[in-house]
Structure 1
Amino acid sequence: MGKELSSCDFHLHSHPDKILFRHLSNVGNKSISTSREKSLSLEKFGIDENIFSKISFLIGICHDFGKGTDYFQRYLFETDLAIQRSLKNKKEYHHGLISAIFTYYILEKYVDSLNDKNILEYIPTIGYLIVKRHHGNLKDAEDEIRELIDKDVLEIIDLQIKSLDISELKTVYEKLLDGYDISSDIDTFCNEYRSIAGEILKNRRKLVKLLKGEQFTGYYLITLTLYSILINSDKIDASSIDVSSEIEISSELVDMYMVEKGFHNNESTINKIRNGIYKEVTENIEKLDLDNKIYSISVPTGSGKTLTSLSFALKLKARLREEKRIKAKIIYSLPFLSIIDQNYDVFEGVFKTVEIANPSEDVLLKHHHLADIFYRTQDNEEFEGLKSLFLIEGWNSEIIVTTFVQFFHTIVSNKNRSLRKFHTIANSIVILDEVQSIPHKYWLLLKQVISGFAKYFNTYFIFVTATQPLIFDPEKGEIIELVKNKDKYFREFDRVKLKINLSSIGMNDFKEIIESEVKKNPEKDFLFVLNTIKSSLEVFKHLKNLELDNSDYYYLSTNIIPKERLNRIKKIKEKSEKRKIIVSTQLIEAGVDIDVDIVYRDFATIDSINQVSGRCNRNSSKSYRGQVNIVVLKDERKEFHRYIYSSFLIDKTKEVLKESPSEIYEEDLLFLNNSYFRKVKDTSSEDESKELLSYINELKFKTLTSDFRLIEDKVGYEKIDVFVEMDDEAVETWKEYILIKSLKNPLNRKEKFLAIRKKFNEYIISVSKNDFSCEEPEDLNIGYIPLEQIKHYYDPETGFIFKLKPTMMCD
């Protein structure tokens, strides 16, 4: 659409080193190329793929119209940084609002030229909202428009209109819109901008009425997709960083890996089951109706779902490319950092064994706050620091392994930084592993958003877990189960026996019981999973004081620095001559690939009980069943589970268990899980989801984000991040951090910090401000425990030392 002309002597700039024409042309063309890569189904909105691409293009070329003022040009080339900062705070030097009004006007002209303009009448207002906040976070739609009531705001626009370089802007847009006479439109805009602003304001009530009346997520998804395309295109051109290449990944990759590793030749019972599940899921890919876009893989823990889901996704990716010309990314999302690295290592191992010796980040990418800030392409182009972070945060890869927080706080967000990758989810294959960890109060909300992605943006979802929550109801055909014989697989597993005791007991009685058990079974590995830090520390110290022979002790909770936590998990997974006694909070239970003989679990919800059972005799390597003991522990006030789980979920768990025998075998777990989630689904309140959905449907972006928290702070008090100077590496890292904080240039400061961010975060824990008595370093907004004071505040074995409260918990 844009005309390739750049030889004219332009003087208006978008950035100090870039003329405005070139920037608008690049952003417009990048926007149109991004939108054309997407296969969309927006017929309901009167939008076909050509119209969507044209809308993206127009938003792209209009978003910086306001940079054509003398005010902005003066700000851009001011050499005195102090003066430049003062100019930045003056509204006449801003360009967002005037550009937004111009965008509205141009989109309205375009919509008026279409036959179905009534269907598209909301598009100009959406363009206004997008451009107004393309340098910030989105606010509530009605509030953004209401700002035009302010007379002072319009007076600022008056000043900006008078300072526009009209002549050059006409030349710029004539070249951008080759063959279209834009000159008269710019004159009209400059003469009638107040009435255009009045029209936007007048249409506010109509828009609000439309959104409230329809209560439809499609407007939200379209708005954020267009917003994401714009800000991504804008940032790519401003940074001059763009990585795009055709990377072919064989659909048979995991098949080849399985053969290479000899998995199909292993005749053990558990491998036969794993191979059966793998074969059933992957061999049916050609028979699937691709109009169904939401699937589940519901299989027992330890049955190879990581490799099975990856193989299925790769085969689906190949079929989508061949049949629907969809170039699908694979986004693999998990709830816990403790299993992110574990599953990423599995994927990396597949590539290293079969296809690529060392897969580059444009092939396989890990994205979370403890990951390395480094990006390399298949062509061996390397990026570090801010450039690397830019590519990582944009999910520039074929396969992305990331957290639930990254994924769900992208699809439910108003944040500019998060939403830059929103458009990448369109046409992707999203694997949601351990989905049972999603709070039930958000089921309806996420169901609607996920359904919208599937229906309108051709995104495919695979829900993977042993305990499938009823976010989508299989009985209503809302989700397609890929494992048709899942009942059979649950029956074939006979690895554990669960013993449930619903009578509450005190800690002293419990310590006597477990002391007897660990002494009576000197060859067996034990795992104790507790609900609170208080109880976990009490149990660990009691067991450690027994000084049992031939025993290694491990304590895990989030009051231990991440570096040590991951090291301990790694050691636990290694074979050893000594038996292991592990005491942990809930962080151990979901997905961490460890295998013990006997588990004691303080009472929890059914899904948590099932997950911790998956750590017992996981590989079916024992000649006997593993033993999982569920107990109800209490302190002097109440049962520990009451401090962290909702009464509603606990009550549903007890209802299910009271209907079951006191001893439960693995074949019974599927029925228990289904019964539990059915009770939760049928009797839970959907009020919170409905309220958040109303914010989504009414484009209340800011209100939505302030109320949505995937991970809640259950303890209810203010926390502080604390750097623990645990060892010599930490000492050097802290010195580097202090040096970086002293740098005056913000960009230089950020660049330098990114080089140490991974190491730095490995020593960070989060604790209550009330419990942190060590003096905080001035102006750093972070706690600090120096090496010479470590013994007073941090125990190398059990972590942060604080005055324990009954409500103190850990995840």
Structure 2
Amino acid sequence: MSSCDFHLHSHPDKILFRHLSNVGNKSISTSREKILSLEKFGIDENTFSKIAFLIGTCHDFGKGTKYFQRYLFEIDPAIQRGLKNKKEYHHGLISAIFTYYILEKYVNSLNNGNSLRFIPTIGYLIVKRHHGNLKDAEDEILELVNEDTLEVIDLQIKSLEISELKTVYEKLLDGYDISFDIDTFCNEYRSIAGEILKNRRKFAKLLKEEQFTGYYLITLILYSILINSDKIDASSIDVFSEIDISSELVDKYKVEKGFQSNESTINKVRNEIYKEVTESIEKLDLDNKIYSISVPTGSGKTLTSLSFALKLKARLREEKRIKAKIIYSLPFLSIIDQNYDVFEDVFKTVEKANPTEDVLLKHHHLADIFYKTQEDEEFEGLKSLFLIEGWNSEIIVTTFVQFFHTIVSNKNRSLRKFHTIANSIVILDEVQSIPHKYWLLLKQLISGFAEYFNTYFIFVTATQPLIFDPEKKEIIELVNNKDKYFREFDRVKLEINLNPMNLNEFKEIIESEVRENPEKDFLFVLNTIKSSLEIFKHLKDLKLENNSYYYLSTNIVPKVRLSKIKEIKEKSEKRKIIVSTQLIEAGVDIDVDIVYRDFATIDSINQVSGRCNRNSSKSSRGQVNIVVLKDERKEFHRYIYSSFLIDKTKEVLKEFPSEIYEADLLLLNNNYFRKVKDTSSEDESKELLSYINELKFKALTSDFRLIDDKAGYEKIDVFVELDVEAVEIWKEYILIKSLKNPLEKKERFLAIRKKFNEYIISVSKKDFSCEEPEDLNIGYIPFKQIKHYYDPETGFVFELKPSMMCD
């Protein structure tokens, strides 16, 4: 039977044989692109690719039933939806049992098959959920206890197109020395299901006793390769091109921009750091895969880390055959665009052209949904989103949430890109923002990626947390002279006042300061939105001349927030007075003379210090004042930060005088993180690690939250119809929501998603008195009511008159 004689389909326009062949071949080619170190599993590169291939060819076996074929070609959408809800029309479970059967045959054919005894079960778990999210392994297997489930399989087995499936698999598995028989499978599938069930206890015991993160990693990389290959073939969208990025790209950029010839003190230090880090690549031992660039804020770490990564990428390709992507991950949206713009400028300056998305990609919810290749292929809408979410690029700039909720996840959509992290160079910028309760968890996962998947990590920060201990050589510091650099950066003086004061007392202090220093720019960083609003109103009410006032918080729609940050960074004849919550801290490249910061943890204090006299351009040291503000109930920092971290901060600060200089910051930071490391509880990480090691995917994802809302209030996303553009976007959104075709809905929404999200704020439901539009699951502030609910300067209005209601 030739392939043109096949009649079973996987999709309306695709023959099942062709789909299985394509997915198998894409899986094997993807796995062969990776240089992995899986000796601990008893798996060499050839065996790994064969396992990936077999999973790919077996994953849709269950589409060979008459039930599925009827569902596929049902022309009445209502009837088709009804069929989709009936279990006999599903194909995941029967395909999973068949995958187990084939993988067991393959493993038994190998001499070292015993070391791979867990692979058939992992294949079962992967295939069972290839169209959904992963669930806890034990629950997935226990489903086979249910007699009703087995009776559904009975019906499916009887409806299989046996003759064609025999030919399909004889062709697909030709050359794989596997003794299998479709008839035997159909006769013995219940006993095979019984074997999977019986092995459950052994498998669960193995996972529980060994507590080995490797099983989680190998499950997810195989799952990722499968679902990515499956989606690529189903969508017929695949982009691949060899793109060579010069390892000297940043070197050339610095020369063209004249950075090397700038002889200011701060630029001399930046150039020294750059030279030390980039020259270290020549003598680097590539068996070490976790590095640190720990330097003062404002010392050019963005360009330094990119240049180092490009040079490491070139060495890995030459010496290890590793084709490494560069993944640059940051904690906050406010600095992603800033750093992306720097990278883009490097390419534009040196290459004299804008980089296409297959070279440089930005991935977060406010980014454009557009993808262009160097071959001038252009993609929009769902096709573009597909390529963006697959991280089909040489350099990806993304958020911590995107990155960490990929390596700690059960979500199909997130895990599709999991395999791209293998063999990558991952730059984690501002890494101090990772909650300490997850240090042990992420240490284990990052170590696993480094050891088994040859992934290289670069931790970049001024305040290096002790996730990895440099004294134990767990992390290699690329800056040997960091003590010297911190001494040379004599830009700020910190004054610490730990005596609590209320907002009225604070207002008197700052009023006096801003009046006495009319030429100096001020930044006030508060811990809560409500306290920041009160301070902003007080400063505005002073009516000082020649001042520009800026208020920043998540209370303001992203479009306006990013515009304000851009304006703040521009030079102006007017004195700037900025009031913000902590969103201003990490990496936002602004430069002021005097900072007041409501009390926070050491890493936050250090970060806000980096906004003061950042470029050493002031005539004297910048002044950072740390105060403790309170309301009638408690200090404001207690609403935001954990008591444990606050107590450690106070302990460390008591070891220093009330005046602290920049040269002291390195010791201050080191002492703080050592205390956190030595005395913090690892219970939460240990519990999550047990979920990982025992493949409890659902439990893991429900408990892991990189961004933790300490207040615990239920929140609602609110669309603010702020201007004429927002009015048109909302009209389009309502129209889209009324569409019946789900694909058309998605496509149309993607066209407006970026602009739509620019008008979204997230507020506590208890503070939002507007009615939610019916069935939209989103709050809405209409244009004609904007003056009641949204202030153009300070954003969402919390305190409304009881009579004010939305139309």
Q: TM-score, normalised by structure 1?
A: 0.98
Q: CA deviation at 1:803?
A: 3.3
Q: CA deviation at 1:318?
A: 0.2
Q: What is the distance in 1 between the residues matched to 2:25 and 2:145?
A: 34
Answering whether residue 148 of structure 2 is matched by residue 152 of structure 1, we say yes
Counterpart residue number, 1:461: 457
Answering whether residue 18 of structure 2 is matched by residue 22 of structure 1, we say yes
Q: Is the partner of 2:260 in helix, strand or coil?
A: helix
Q: What is the distance in 2 between the residues matched to 1:766 and 1:21?
A: 48
Counterpart residue number, 1:293: 289
Counterpart residue number, 1:485: 481
Contact 1:174 1:183 in 2 (8 A): no
Deviations 1:530-578 (A, max 9, x none): 0001110110000000010010000000010000000000000000000
Answering whether residue 370 of structure 2 is matched by residue 374 of structure 1, we say yes
Counterpart residue number, 1:543: 539
Counterpart residue number, 2:135: 139
Q: Which amino acid aligns with 1:455?
A: E
Deviations 1:176-208 (A, max 9, x none): 122458795211100100000000000000001
Matches within 5 A, 1:637-656: 637-656=633-652
Contact 1:300 1:490 in 2 (8 A): yes
Q: What is the distance in 1 between the residues matched to 2:248 and 2:638?
A: 48
Q: Which amino acid aligns with 1:124?
A: P
Answering whether residue 7 of structure 2 is matched by residue 41 of structure 1, we say no
Answering whether residue 771 of structure 2 is matched by residue 775 of structure 1, we say yes
* 2:299 equivalent among 298, 303, 309: 303
Counterpart residue number, 1:603: 599
Contact 1:170 1:183 in 2 (8 A): no
Unmatched 5+ residue regions in structure 1?
A: 805-811
Q: What is the distance in 2 between the residues matched to 1:130 and 1:329?
A: 25
Q: What is the distance in 2 between the residues matched to 1:570 and 1:545?
A: 25
Q: 1:426 to 1:184 in 2, by over 3 A?
A: closer
Q: Which amino acid aligns with 1:245?
A: S
Answering whether residue 675 of structure 2 is matched by residue 679 of structure 1, we say yes
Counterpart residue number, 2:277: 281
Which segment is superposed worse, 168-177 or 683-692?
168-177
Counterpart residue number, 1:557: 553
Counterpart residue number, 1:234: 230
Contact 1:722 1:784 in 2 (8 A): yes
Q: What is the distance in 2 between the residues matched to 1:408 and 1:295?
A: 18
Q: CA deviation at 1:356?
A: 4.8
Counterpart residue number, 2:783: 787
Q: Which amino acid aligns with 1:400?
A: I
Contact 1:530 1:586 in 2 (8 A): yes
* 1:176 equivalent among 165, 172, 175: 172
Q: What is the distance in 2 between the residues matched to 1:623 and 1:552?
A: 22
Q: Which amino acid aligns with 1:535?
A: S
Q: What is the distance in 2 between the residues matched to 1:88 and 1:186?
A: 26
Contact 1:174 1:180 in 2 (8 A): no
Deviations 1:336-383 (A, max 9, x none): 000000000000000000025110000000000000000000111000
Counterpart residue number, 1:113: 109
Q: CA deviation at 1:774?
A: 1.4
Contact 1:293 1:460 in 2 (8 A): yes
Counterpart residue number, 1:627: 623
Q: 1:471 to 1:6 in 2, by over 3 A?
A: farther
Q: What is the distance in 2 between the residues matched to 1:159 and 1:583?
A: 67
Deviations 1:739-759 (A, max 9, x none): 111111000000000000000
Q: 1:178 to 1:438 in 2, by over 3 A?
A: same
Q: Which amino acid aligns with 2:799?
A: K
Contact 1:174 1:181 in 2 (8 A): no
Q: 1:182 to 1:290 in 2, by over 3 A?
A: closer
Q: Is the partner of 1:264 in helix, strand or coil?
A: coil
Unmatched 5+ residue regions in structure 2?
A: 801-807
Q: Is the partner of 1:119 in helix, strand or coil?
A: helix
Q: Which amino acid aligns with 1:344?
A: Y
Counterpart residue number, 1:265: 261
Q: Is the partner of 1:630 in helix, strand or coil?
A: strand
Deviations 1:629-652 (A, max 9, x none): 000001111110011111100000
Answering whether residue 409 of structure 2 is matched by residue 413 of structure 1, we say yes
Matches within 5 A, 1:320-719: 320-719=316-715
Q: What is the distance in 2 between the residues matched to 1:186 and 1:487?
A: 68
Counterpart residue number, 1:807: none
Q: What is the distance in 1 between the residues matched to 2:677 and 2:91?
A: 48
Q: What is the distance in 2 between the residues matched to 1:208 and 1:173?
A: 31
Identity in percent: 89
Deviations 1:760-799 (A, max 9, x none): 0000001111211112211111111111000111111111
Counterpart residue number, 1:744: 740
Contact 1:254 1:310 in 2 (8 A): yes
Q: CA deviation at 1:7?
A: 4.0
Q: Is the partner of 1:396 in helix, strand or coil?
A: coil
Q: Is the partner of 2:410 in helix, strand or coil?
A: coil
Matches within 5 A, 1:62-101: 62-101=58-97
Q: CA RMSD in A?
A: 0.9
Contact 1:170 1:182 in 2 (8 A): no
Q: Is the partner of 2:761 in helix, strand or coil?
A: strand
Q: What is the distance in 2 between the residues matched to 1:179 and 1:476?
A: 48
Show structure 1 runs of 4+ deviating over 3 A: 5-8, 179-184
Answering whether residue 250 of structure 2 is matched by residue 254 of structure 1, we say yes
Q: Which amino acid aligns with 1:478?
A: E
* 2:749 equivalent among 748, 753, 778: 753
Q: CA deviation at 1:8?
A: 3.2
Q: What is the distance in 2 between the residues matched to 1:292 and 1:72?
A: 50
Q: Which amino acid aligns with 1:334?
A: L
Q: 1:6 to 1:281 in 2, by over 3 A?
A: farther
Matches within 5 A, 1:160-199: 160-179=156-175, 185-199=181-195
Q: Is the partner of 1:263 in helix, strand or coil?
A: coil
Q: What is the distance in 2 between the residues matched to 1:356 and 1:426?
A: 31
Q: What is the distance in 2 between the residues matched to 1:59 and 1:682?
A: 44
Answering whether residue 315 of structure 2 is matched by residue 316 of structure 1, we say no
Q: Which amino acid aligns with 1:452?
A: G
Q: What is the distance in 1 between the residues matched to 2:209 and 2:597?
A: 48
* 2:220 equivalent among 209, 219, 224: 224
Contact 1:340 1:401 in 2 (8 A): yes
Q: CA deviation at 1:698?
A: 0.3
Counterpart residue number, 1:726: 722
Contact 1:6 1:22 in 2 (8 A): no
Deviations 1:397-433 (A, max 9, x none): 0000000000000000000000000000000000000
Contact 2:528 2:636 in 1 (8 A): yes
Aligned residues: 800
Q: What is the distance in 2 between the residues matched to 1:707 and 1:7?
A: 48
